[in-house]
Amino acid sequence: MATQRTQQVFEDDPHDHDRGLSFDVSTLMNRRRALQLVALGGLTTLVGCGSSSGSRTAGASSTTAAATTAATSSDVAGVPQETGGPYPADGSNGPNVLTESGIVRRDITTSFGSVSGSAQGVPLTINLKILDVSAGGTPLAGAAVYLWHCDREGRYSLYSQGATDQNYLRGVQESASDGTLTFESIFPAAYPGRWPHIHFEVYPTLAAATSAGSKLVTSQIALPEDACNLVYAGTGYEQSIQNMSQTSLETDNVFSDGFSTQLATATGTPATTMAIALNVGV
| Range of weakest confidence among 26-30, 101-105, 195-199, 270-274 | 26-30
Cα(131)–Cα(180) distance, integer angstroms: 9
pLDDT, averaged across the chain: 81
Sequence-separated (6 or more) residues with CB below 8 Å from residue 58: none
pLDDT at 80: 97
Task: Find the mean pLDDT for residues 75-87.
Answer: 93
| pLDDT, tens digit, 9 for 90 and up, residues 176-202 | 999 999 999 999 999 999 999 999 999
Other CB atoms closer than 10 Å to residue 219's CB: what's the count?
26
Task: Find the mean pLDDT for residues 68-73.
Answer: 40
Confidence of residue 58 (pLDDT cuts 50, 70, 90): very low
Record the pTM.
0.77
Confidence of residue 234 (pLDDT cuts 50, 70, 90): very high
Share of the chain above pLDDT 70, in %: 73
Task: Find the mean pLDDT for residues 45-72.
Answer: 35
E-strand ranges in the chain read 123-132, 138-139, 144-148, 170-174, 180-186, 197-203, 217-222, 265-267, 274-281
pLDDT at 178: 98
pLDDT at 76: 85
Cα(14)–Cα(150) distance, integer angstroms: 8
Share of the chain above pLDDT 90, in %: 72
Task: Find the mean pLDDT for residues 245-266.
Answer: 97
Task: Find the mean pLDDT for residues 164-177.
Answer: 98
DSSP code for 268: -
Q: Please give the residue that has the higher pLDDT: either 9 or 106.
A: 106
**CA separation (Å) from 21 to 144, 190, 193?**
26, 18, 12
pLDDT at 75: 65
Q: Please give the residue that has the higher pLDDT: either 270 or 8.
A: 270
